Structure 1
Amino acid sequence: MSSPDQNQEQDQKQDQEQDHKQKQEPNQERNQEPRDEKDATKEEVKEEKTEEKKEENPEEKKEETTEENPEEKKEEKTEEKTEDKEEKKIKKEEKKEEKKEEKKGSWKDFIYNPRTGEFLGRTASSWGLILLFYLVFYGFLAGMFSLTMWVMLQTLDENVPRHQDRVSSPGLVVRPHALEISYNRTDPTDYNQYTQQLHELLQYYNDSIQEQNDLCLVGEYTEQDDEPVKKVCQFKRSTLRQCSGLPDGSFGFEEGKPCIIIKMNRVIGLKPEGEPFINCTAKRDTPLQMQYFPPEGRLDKMFFPYYGKKAHPDYVQPLVAVKLLLRKEDYNVEQTVECKVEGSNLRNSDDRDKYLGRVTFRVRVSE
């Protein structure tokens, strides 16, 4: 029989052994865990070494690839390129067709879009508003323009212009309307054009027409500023006598002694001072005989001033006819004649204007 003390000692030993076993078990687990981690790291190192070996031997890979047929590779590449090109062409054609369809659709939609009801990009209400705006805007502009024109016209005189752009001194013109008169006196068809122009000019000076006009005071101005209807002074065609075309319908062209009619341009309000007359001279060594109608080529003051086309509609300006008394030795020779307004304050020697107060013409008669 064992004593109780012995039993207690055995129990204590057993307890100590159990405690020792429990302490050893976690230590074993701890020792196993680092071993597993070491094995994993070893495997990773092996894999890295194998990869390095693969990278270190690219020549072997090249040799492997070169062992394959290069011709087959080239054929494969060319086939791939052609396929890529064909695919690109197809895609381009598809894009072009899509663009054309989009354009057609966009033009149709721009003209009239049935979805939104727009015509040329605007709805009916939008068109109505913009048309109303432009109607009001342009109506306002037209009204302003009409108002300004009306105000301006109220300040103007319909008979006399406020600003005259014409010169104060008139110019001279000749009839027939030609600065070079050349004809054969034995051939009527050669000078008919000249005589016809003179007849057309003098038909307004026929005595039957001029007798309806007023007899004015010779040598005095006919001033009519305050009269609403301006009277016209008589200038009868018969006062031109041999150059009137009444006794001689050829105006002296047939006999080789042509008549040239000189008239002065109209200038509104012109009142020449002194006693104006027309004087003609031939540019040659010996003087050329001439005959004036009216006598001395006078331009009477009673035909001045002129009040304008509206206030003075039946006005006729005074004329001076010059008959060139040519002789046989003057035939077939060009005669240069210059006529000027003299005896007044009218200008006749301005080098910038050769027709201001003067005129030059040439005559050549042959037989």
Structure 2
Amino acid sequence: MSSSPRDQNQHQEVNQEEKADEKENKNEETKQEKPEKLMSEKKEEKKESWKDFIYNPRTGEFLGRTASSWGLIILFYLIFYGFLAAMFSLTMWVMLQTLDENVPKHQDRVANPGLVIRPHAAEISFNRSNPTNYNQYIQQLHDLLQHYNDSIQERNDLCLVGEYTEQDDEPMKKVCQFKRSILRQCSGLPDTTFGYAEGKPCIIIKMNRVIGLKPRGDPYINCTAKRDSPLQMQYFPSEGRLDKMFFPYYGKKAHPDYVQPLVAVKLLLSKEDYNIEQMVECKVEGSDLRNNDERDKYQGRVIFRVKVSE
């Protein structure tokens, strides 16, 4: 049977629609393939670019530079840092030539020394009937006086009393004797408890070392109790004197065996003074050393408290 013209037209239209759908499908497939190809191409380019950055076989570059370029830049930095090291070494050498090995060029210590006490405590409190209360105090005093033992000090020189021991031209400075026995009742020799067992404790005062210090006058330590009635005290050496023969001090290297003079104060407390806190202030008197600087309460003076119970 022959088809009518209408049927033929309809068949042609269907074929054209199918062809159009096929084209659209092909276009969509090509559109989807293009981004995938681009992504893969970019990845390959990145891999190649990183490889070329590390080492490019075409130009012979390593990390973006040729061997000659790397050699020149390394040589430049070697010369540059070598020059800086040489300048630093030269500067240090010149500065060291201006220093004295015995005396610091810039001293951070003040010209007026401070005072310190042993036992090292701002408040000394103990029960005289209980040795465990004051054993730590007497141990500190024994440790301090080990360097002042008579057997050790007899190796040192007998110096002129009341005169400075100046020895600027001597490479190694001599040391003046300060025997432990000079402190008598506070030496720990006749009484190993330094008076703590009897309730009359000894306090040892020493002045900080200052290189080149030569105090004028006749320096001595004077202690006063901050209360209405005076507190009885006994000084060793007598009058709490700091003899000028122990000055000046030349530094640890030139004066390695130096010992500074000490003053011991024995507080003669009575039974009425027990269980009462005693505030005591000790100062350097009789010289040009300052003892009244409110900005530094330890310059030329020291304050401590003592409380003894039975």
Whether 1:337 aligns to 2:280 is yes
- 1:302 — aligned with what? 245
When residues 101 and 304 of structure 1 are mapped into structure 2, their CA distance, relative to the original with a 3 A threshold, is farther
Matched to 2:265, the amino acid is V
Matched to 1:218, the amino acid is V
C-alpha RMSD of the superposition: 2.7
Q: Distance in 2 between matches of 1:186 and 1:101?
A: 94
- 2:65 — aligned with what? 122
**Displacement of 1:250 after TM fit?**
2.1
When residues 275 and 97 of structure 1 are mapped into structure 2, their CA distance, relative to the original with a 3 A threshold, is farther
Determine what percentage of the aligned residue pairs are the same residue: 84
Question: 1:136 is matched with which residue: 72, 79, 97?
Answer: 79
**Displacement of 1:301 after TM fit?**
0.7
Question: 2:182 is matched with which residue: 229, 239, 242?
Answer: 239
**Displacement of 1:261 after TM fit?**
0.8
Question: 2:165 is matched with which residue: 222, 232, 235?
Answer: 222
Whether 1:161 aligns to 2:125 is no
Q: Distance in 1 between matches of 2:200 and 2:60?
A: 88
* SS state at 2:147 partner: helix
Matched to 2:191, the amino acid is D
- 2:304 — aligned with what? 361
- 1:257 — aligned with what? 200
Q: Distance in 1 between matches of 2:170 and 2:95?
A: 25
**Displacement of 1:348 after TM fit?**
0.7
When residues 215 and 127 of structure 1 are mapped into structure 2, their CA distance, relative to the original with a 3 A threshold, is same
The count of corresponding residues between Structure 1 and Structure 2 is: 286
- 1:53 — aligned with what? none
* SS state at 1:276 partner: strand
- 1:199 — aligned with what? 142
When residues 129 and 332 of structure 1 are mapped into structure 2, their CA distance, relative to the original with a 3 A threshold, is same
Structure showing the higher strand proportion among its residues: 2
**Displacement of 1:106 after TM fit?**
4.7
Matched to 2:67, the amino acid is A
Question: 1:151 is matched with which residue: 87, 94, 97?
Answer: 94
Question: 1:175 is matched with which residue: 114, 118, 125?
Answer: 118
- 2:260 — aligned with what? 317
* SS state at 2:217 partner: coil
Q: Distance in 1 between matches of 2:39 and 2:303?
A: 78
**Displacement of 1:294 after TM fit?**
0.8
Matched to 1:155, the amino acid is T
When residues 133 and 283 of structure 1 are mapped into structure 2, their CA distance, relative to the original with a 3 A threshold, is same
Q: Distance in 1 between matches of 2:269 and 2:211?
A: 37
- 2:16 — aligned with what? none
Structure having greater relative contact order (Cα 8 Å, sep ≥ 6): 2
When residues 112 and 182 of structure 1 are mapped into structure 2, their CA distance, relative to the original with a 3 A threshold, is farther
Matched to 1:255, the amino acid is E
* SS state at 1:257 partner: coil
When residues 126 and 319 of structure 1 are mapped into structure 2, their CA distance, relative to the original with a 3 A threshold, is same
Q: Distance in 1 between matches of 2:303 and 2:40?
A: 80
Q: Distance in 2 between matches of 1:191 and 1:136?
A: 67
- 2:22 — aligned with what? none
* SS state at 1:302 partner: helix
Q: Distance in 2 between matches of 1:106 and 1:190?
A: 82
Where structure 1 has 5 or more consecutive residues not aligned to the other structure, the ranges are 1-82
- 1:213 — aligned with what? 156
When residues 120 and 222 of structure 1 are mapped into structure 2, their CA distance, relative to the original with a 3 A threshold, is same
* SS state at 1:166 partner: coil
Structure showing the higher helix proportion among its residues: 1
**Displacement of 1:307 after TM fit?**
1.2
**Displacement of 1:220 after TM fit?**
0.7
Q: Distance in 2 between matches of 1:210 and 1:293?
A: 17
Higher Rg: 1
* SS state at 2:103 partner: coil
Q: Distance in 1 between matches of 2:43 and 2:150?
A: 85
When residues 287 and 138 of structure 1 are mapped into structure 2, their CA distance, relative to the original with a 3 A threshold, is same
Whether 1:277 aligns to 2:200 is no
- 1:79 — aligned with what? none
Question: 2:269 is matched with which residue: 297, 312, 326?
Answer: 326
Normalised by the length of structure 1, the TM-score is: 0.70
When residues 348 and 119 of structure 1 are mapped into structure 2, their CA distance, relative to the original with a 3 A threshold, is same
When residues 323 and 94 of structure 1 are mapped into structure 2, their CA distance, relative to the original with a 3 A threshold, is farther
